[in-house]
Structure 1
Amino acid sequence: MVFSNLVFLFMFLPIVLAAYFLLPKMFKNFVLLLASLIFYAWGEPKYVILMLFSILMNYLFGLMVHKYRNQLKHKKMVIALSVIANIGLLGYYKYSNFFIENLNNVFGLNISNEPLPLPIGISFFTFQAMSYVIDVYRRDAAVQTNVFDLALYIALFPQLVAGPIVRYNTVAEEIKKRVHSIELFSEGVRRFIIGLSKKVLIANPMGELADTLFAMNPGDMSSGTAWLGIIAYTLQIYFDFSGYSDMAIGLGKMFGFNFLENFNYPYISRSVSEFWRRWHISLSSWFRDYVYIPLGGNRKGPWKTYRNLLIVWTITGFWHGASWTFMAWGFYYGIIISLERLGLSKFLEKLWSPIQHVYVLLIVMIGWVFFRADSFDYSFNFIQTLFGMNGTQALDNSTFLYLNDYGYVFILGILFSMPVMDWLRKMLYRENSFIGRWAVPIVSPVVYMALLVFVTMFLVNSTYNPFIYFRF
């Protein structure tokens, strides 16, 4: 089930909200846990057992780490087993086909390679479970002795299948005791509608166009059409994932949880390093805290710092998918960020601000080509077409046809990838203006209701409604 599904919007969510707020406080966590298990089982019931196994396994690891908290040798052994078990579980379902295929190709073997369906959200709930045990080991979080409370943390449906990756210590108190208010609930509803609108009104149309153009042979399209394709994908992946994160944060607020932000307008960045401080913040901070810093971070000299960056970014790419193109995408960012550390960032700071933005957008869009394409051949051919290096036309009729059909979505996407609403809100509420105090509170509910109506119309009339990050 996805948040932009009519069944979720008009059946599942209303029923869960009604049960949650009508039943006494002692049953609220039970309602959320049951709803989360139903939500996950809706698409693939058999994998609920896998998630429950992961929960029980990490619950026991947490107890063992706590038991041996004063015996360093035993504690290290338990945490090592915990990491191996979690990575092994994730690796079996996500990477076993990749490794078998490459062993067969390199050594001429014929190992049976039956494709394994990828359990939805396994990367996210595995990382959350690992972070809990590691935080107990580091004494950054208290051990959870109630297995149902830990199950709620890992399985909580707003962030279960596509993040953001929530740290246990940020919600531990809210699992035990949450504050509910009309103001927080209303804020959650507004945030959810914004995320839903991002997803349905911008990401979906851009995704349809990106899928159409990336299905073409790069040699058969003009440079202009290729640019439309990569810009469409650039907007799709941002509004798809940031929209999902907005919906997750909004749902969390409805139930009394305050999840940390996951996106902060990454496309306005002036450096690639800044871009990754703004994009998928929960994943970037996870790799920083649990991989980069344990490797030594930047504390052991410049060369080991660059080594650590390349390792972390290559792993980050591999986390996104079992493919050499994903690894190359991660390594690509490792190189760029290393170059910025070496002095490129100081050079960029001296440039005119728009040039800094263009630099980031070009780097990011070239990276998205490798992220979106299925092979290196396609990626390189597509990039050649982008820059007119394979003899294709600069523009053709199809470029203008696609612009005619999708031009308004491109405008909306580019506009709302910038903090336009933040600027508008500041302007309206500046100096306690009459509009900000009286008109906005009256008009705002009408705008949100109109957005919900538009979204519903789009969903009723369209069958295209994927979530990109579900497959990661």
Structure 2
Amino acid sequence: MVFTSITFAFFLPVLFILYWAIPKKTRWIVLLAANIIFYMYGGALFILLMLAIALVTWWCARRIELSPDRKKAYLVSSVIVVLGMLGFFKYADFAIGTVSSICGLFSLSFSPAALRLALPLGISFYSFAAIGYVADVYKGRIPAQSSYFRYLAFVSFFPSVLSGPINRAGDIMPQIDEPADFDYDLAAAGLRQMLWGFFKKLIIADTLTLYVDPIFDNVRFYFGMTLIVSTILYTFQIYCDFSGYSDIAIGTAKLLGIRLKDNFKSPYYSRSVKEFWSRWHISLSTWFRDYVYIPLGGSRASNGRHNLNIMLTMLLSGLWHGADWSFVIWGGLHGVYQVAEDFCHRHFSKKEYRGMKERDIKRSVPWNIGHGILTFAMVSFAWSFFRANNTADALYIASHMHRGLGHIAGSYIMMLNNMHLDGLKLTYLIVLIVILMAVDFAGLKRDIYGLFGKLPMWGRWLIYTGLTVFVIVITLNGGVHQEFIYFQF
């Protein structure tokens, strides 16, 4: 089931009424049933895989608690089983193709048929949530859940099961086991967050799709400013698409009295790539930090080992996103960015510039703007590898972005023609991006959804009604309806 479907528009109100109408002690049962219905709507067969992963991780966590002398064996076993299932469905063809290519370099014959397995919905997300649960039990951070079905309610939690956020058991299971009383303010904040998420997805992301996809699907016909502008537009498209999903998911959970942690915090206002990853897909970046980066030694190791830890973590993050070398390169770029930032910080941070110390420099407006623009440019360039249909296309984009830029006026006109943009359409896109960035700027130091709640009632309802009508009118009159980008992961 998809958040933007008519089915969900009927599903959620029915669940909301039923969930709050029954006694607290049985709400988890209704939630579990809703989770199963929601997931099976997109493919009944794949629910068996989720049930199996939940069963393995639940049992191993129980054994860790009951047999502490063998807890490491149970942890390793659960990780191997879950990653094995994830790897089989997601990376089998990638591994076959890679081995076949390597064998070809040595004139060896190895060309088995691709398996072409369908990727189970949400497997990358709920697998990581399940592994995190076992690891937290192993570390003694949380107790093991005695009930398999209560644990399953966490793993299959419908708002986040398909595309995150990747929840931590310690945050969610207590809220499922001991439901809170109905909180009108929380529910209202959830509706506001959902509305903003729908706006970002249906109005901004799906509009940008019209101009981004034709270019990236035929990159060999374009160069220069066309590739640069389409990459920048994709930078905003993927943000609105993914953060829009997260907003809808978090808002939906709030309607049920369950608080999920933020997954995005104005990432394009970051002044370094390291800061970007503290604001972008936070649930994934903190997962890799806690379960990969820190166990590898984190920043406590030598400079060389620290840099290696960063690179390994980012390469794995890239591979998590997709079974193609373009995703690995994307992760590697972010690793290189952070290693370079760390090098510059260690070698130049303690030096003075024209009598100004580092602390004063970082407070200056030019420093913040300059580093913000540089970070945005580096992140946007990396997105071209993420969006490209394959590694060859990604390398073509990287090597042809600069062509024709010596003739700005001609490049600009060619870009407009290639992307089928005119003055009105371009202005519309700019207005949408300005609205997005203005809201993100307002949310840098305050809760933007709570801020809306403090407006006069007439002001709130004016905004709600305007956004709702705008979303409905645009989507019903030629709007493009695209799946959420992160469904493919």
TM-score, length basis structure 2: 0.89
CA contact (8 A) 1:224 1:399 kept: no
Which of 467, 470, 482 aligns to 1:451? It is 467
Query: Are residue 394 (structure 1) and residue 411 (structure 2) matched?
Result: yes
Query: Are residue 412 (structure 1) and residue 408 (structure 2) matched?
Result: no
Please name the residue that 2:215 is paired with.
213
Give, in whole Å, the separation in 1 of the partners of 2:117 and 2:65.
35
Please name the residue that 1:289 is paired with.
290
CA contact (8 A) 1:269 1:357 kept: yes
CA contact (8 A) 2:253 2:260 kept: yes
Quickly say closer, same or farther: Cα 1:82–1:376, change in 2 above 3 A.
Answer: same
Give, in whole Å, the separation in 2 of the partners of 1:299 and 1:222.
44
Deviations 1:382-407 (A, max 9, x none): 23332226999522255164253243
SS in 1 for 2:249: helix
Give, in whole Å, the separation in 1 of the partners of 2:94 and 2:304.
31
Query: Are residue 62 (structure 1) and residue 61 (structure 2) matched?
Result: yes
Deviation of 1:43 after TM superposition, in Å, equals 1.4
CA contact (8 A) 2:224 2:405 kept: no
Give, in whole Å, the separation in 1 of the partners of 2:30 and 2:347.
53
Quickly say closer, same or farther: Cα 1:127–1:425, change in 2 above 3 A.
Answer: closer
Deviation of 1:459 after TM superposition, in Å, equals 3.2
Please name the residue that 1:370 is paired with.
385
Please name the residue that 2:106 is paired with.
none
Give the residue type in structure 2 aligned to 1:215. D
Deviation of 1:442 after TM superposition, in Å, equals 2.1
CA contact (8 A) 1:55 1:151 kept: yes
Task: Name which of structure 1's ranges 88-97 and 458-467 shifts more when overlaid on structure 2.
Answer: 458-467
Cα RMSD (Å): 2.5
Deviations 1:59-94 (A, max 9, x none): 11111111112x1xx111111111111110110000
Query: Are residue 327 (structure 1) and residue 343 (structure 2) matched?
Result: no
Q: Which runs of 5+ in 1 are unaligned?
A: none
CA contact (8 A) 1:224 1:396 kept: no
CA contact (8 A) 1:232 1:410 kept: no
TM-score, length basis structure 1: 0.92
Deviation of 1:110 after TM superposition, in Å, equals 2.4
Deviations 1:84-107 (A, max 9, x none): 111101100000110011222222
Q: Aligned pairs, how many? A: 461
Quickly say closer, same or farther: Cα 1:424–1:76, change in 2 above 3 A.
Answer: closer
Please name the residue that 1:148 is paired with.
149
Please name the residue that 1:135 is paired with.
136
Please name the residue that 1:28 is paired with.
27
Deviations 1:154-181 (A, max 9, x none): 1010111100111001122211112221
CA contact (8 A) 2:64 2:137 kept: yes
Give, in whole Å, the separation in 2 of the partners of 1:257 and 1:459.
30
Please name the residue that 1:468 is paired with.
485
Quickly say closer, same or farther: Cα 1:390–1:100, change in 2 above 3 A.
Answer: farther
Task: Name which of structure 1's ranges 205-214 and 358-367 shifts more when overlaid on structure 2.
Answer: 205-214
Deviation of 1:425 after TM superposition, in Å, equals 8.0
Please name the residue that 1:47 is paired with.
46
Deviation of 1:448 after TM superposition, in Å, equals 1.3
Please name the residue that 2:201 is paired with.
199
SS in 2 for 1:402: coil
Give the residue type in structure 1 aligned to 2:66. K
Query: Are residue 255 (structure 1) and residue 256 (structure 2) matched?
Result: yes
Give, in whole Å, the separation in 2 of the partners of 1:436 and 1:455.
21
CA contact (8 A) 1:6 1:459 kept: no
Give the residue type in structure 2 aligned to 1:3. F
Listed as ranges, the matches of 1:356-367 within 5 Å are 356-367=371-382
CA contact (8 A) 1:222 1:396 kept: no
Deviations 1:323-354 (A, max 9, x none): 11111111111111011111258759756322
Deviation of 1:292 after TM superposition, in Å, equals 0.6
Task: Name which of structure 1's ranges 400-409 and 447-456 shifts more when overlaid on structure 2.
Answer: 400-409
Give, in whole Å, the separation in 1 of the partners of 2:294 and 2:398.
35
Query: Moved runs in structure 1, 4+ residues, more than 4 A?
Result: 344-351, 389-393, 423-427
Deviations 1:196-235 (A, max 9, x none): 11111111111221111212334x3353322221111101
Give the residue type in structure 2 aligned to 1:189. L
Task: Name which of structure 1's ranges 122-131 and 329-338 shifts more when overlaid on structure 2.
Answer: 329-338
Give the residue type in structure 1 aligned to 2:332. F
Give, in whole Å, the separation in 2 of the partners of 1:222 and 1:370.
15
